[in-house]
Structure 1
Amino acid sequence: MTFKAICSDVDGTLLNSDRDLSPRLKNLIQSLSPQIPVILASSRMPDAMRHLLTDLGRPFEPMVAYNGGLVLDEKGQILDSVTIPLELVKTIIDWTAKTEIHVSLFHGENWYESKEDYWSKREIQNTKVNPTWMKREEIMELWSRENLGAHKVMVMGDSNEISWLFGELHLHHGSDLHLYRSKDTYIEIAPRKISKATGLEVLLKAKFDFGIQEVIAFGDNYNDIDLLQKAGWGVAVANARPEVKAVANEITLHHKEDGVAETLERFFWQKKQSPEFLQGS
């Protein structure tokens, strides 16, 4: 079985227990033909993935950011952009007004924070990206002037308040929003009509001469289900949600045990010197 591209989720899949790339994985990727693209598909913003691609020795790769809401080619040019409309963003913020829930706003290359607290500091540490500090009202005014929406709204806080907000948003706006509860203290909110799979399909159609059936894909969470279902070979790490494992073709090792590297070695390591592999076939 030969694949022409690798597509992987980041957090809980590609990264190890130190939230970093293992030497084993980096060595493997750097040994592959450059004709085999390594495409990261994540809820992260672009800048939170670029340093990972650089560490993999692949600084100029396309990417699927914001769960498919923003698709960039290898030069950083936008291939597709789908956002949550500004009025709906304001509605989400209004729902949090009487709670202690922290709200982070994202558009394109920008991550906006209105206050420095436990949650913003944690995200800076986890993603190695610094936000733009701006008052909420100023962000809304800026987006209104420039006719922008949010590629992602991330809300974080007490698990009980997050459960309440998830229920309210699902009830009142479930037809317009994807609600990914990646942890019991987080909800990552994206436009309903996008997914990592739709983003990858846009990318493949625009830049490559093969389809999603010739891609091997890796994931662990609910927002990876569509990707693993549509890919030629969908791989769930051992720590994946049961629903993700149920749709996968294969279950590999835990992300802390280099599950992605384990599977890629089996598919590619023995083939890396063959003429067909070196040509990216």
Structure 2
Amino acid sequence: MKRAREKDNGVYHAALRGLQIELVKLQRHLIRHHQKILVLVEGRDGAGKDGAIKAITEHMSPRETRIVALGKPSDRERSEWYFQRYVSHLPAGGEFVLFNRSWYNRAGVERVMVFCNKQECEDFLVAVPIFEDLLVRSGIQLFKYYLDIDRDEQKARLQARRNDPLKQWKISPIDQAALKHWKDYSRARDVMLARTSVTYAPWTIVRANDKPTARLNLIRDLLSRLDYGGKAKPRQIAPDRAIVFPFDRDALRDGRLSA
């Protein structure tokens, strides 16, 4: 019933406004206490990563909030330690940073499209828990979200993107290959989640077939996991666990993730 109500545009915007007020409270707290928050937003092509990030950051301070969306690495960057180009974008004290795709490109698009070899991918899967352990030990509060949609929904969204003159900038050859390599992406996702969801840096899955519901529940989940002054009552920011839930290996078999 709650999800049905939230599909109404007015109800959605009212709910979003309330959550965005909570995000402003959170930001004031983290600035005051010099805390560092890092949110990684990963997912299928067309899963709604841009929209989710916009909903989170729309009313946050542009000075202390950064969205990182790195492009194709340069020749020099390809010769560096893999994580090197990401390090300079990590949050300092008082900053809230979101990565719209992150170092997990290596376990996803780079693996599927053979932009890296098998050994490079394996080395990444071994190294990333160590890297993230260092981040958490340094005081960064790390949150990793994977937005998942089914194949029919992805097909519809990518087609709508091609037909919308305002979204032409989103079209890329990688998007064109997404449906063709659907199964390959599923297998890569499953390996990535299984091997890199650890106690200090777990993955959280967002079922994103319905964009408004996904955005609201992602924000609720994030808020519910953080402490800040003036925080709303738990029931006001409790996420729907049918929509957003901590990853566990059973999700690879029980239908909660798209096959």
TM-score (norm 2): 0.33
Q: Which has the higher contact order (CA 8 A, sep 6+)?
A: 2
TM-score (norm 1): 0.31
- Point out the structure with the larger strand share: 1
- Point out the structure with the larger helix share: 2
